[in-house]
Amino acid sequence: MEASELLERARSRATDPEDPLEVLSAAIALCGEPGGEADALLDLAVRRAREAGASWTAIGERLGYVRRPARRRFTPAFAHRHLVNRRMKREVACSFCRRPPGPRVHMVHGEGGRICDKCVALAGDIVAGLARRR
């Protein structure tokens, strides 16, 4: 059975077929029944609820999730994009203090990483202090 057909079946079982959250609740109940394409049905029901203006919080409450997992579960591109952005920021930041590059932050790039001007100055002070001790 197609996901759209299952969604129509869920809509017919909903107490208020015009309320997308009620349709989502009915779709969740349908997914509990054996022999359904649960993931496709839930994806479609969530997409329709979002198009109708339902918040991720309301959708998550219907699904039994707490806070943001509903958004992460139903938008895999969001999770992937978030991880890619985080990885890119980490890769261009100073390898020692994680300071991000900027117009006033100068970086020295090497094969294994990057070091900002403040860390270079600190390293210079440390080496100079060690040289004075000898």
Binding-site annotation: residue ranges for Zn(2+): 94, 97, 116, 119
Closest CA to 101 of 112, 111, 88, 84: 88
**Backbone dihedral region for residue 27 (phi beyond 0: left; psi -120 to 50: alpha; all else: beta):** alpha
Q: Which residues are annotated as a binding site?
A: 94, 97, 116, 119
Q: Answer whether 29's CB lies under 8 Å from 62's CB.
A: no
Query: In terms of DSSP bridges, do strands 114-116 and 107-109 run parallel, antiparallel, or are they unpaired?
Result: antiparallel
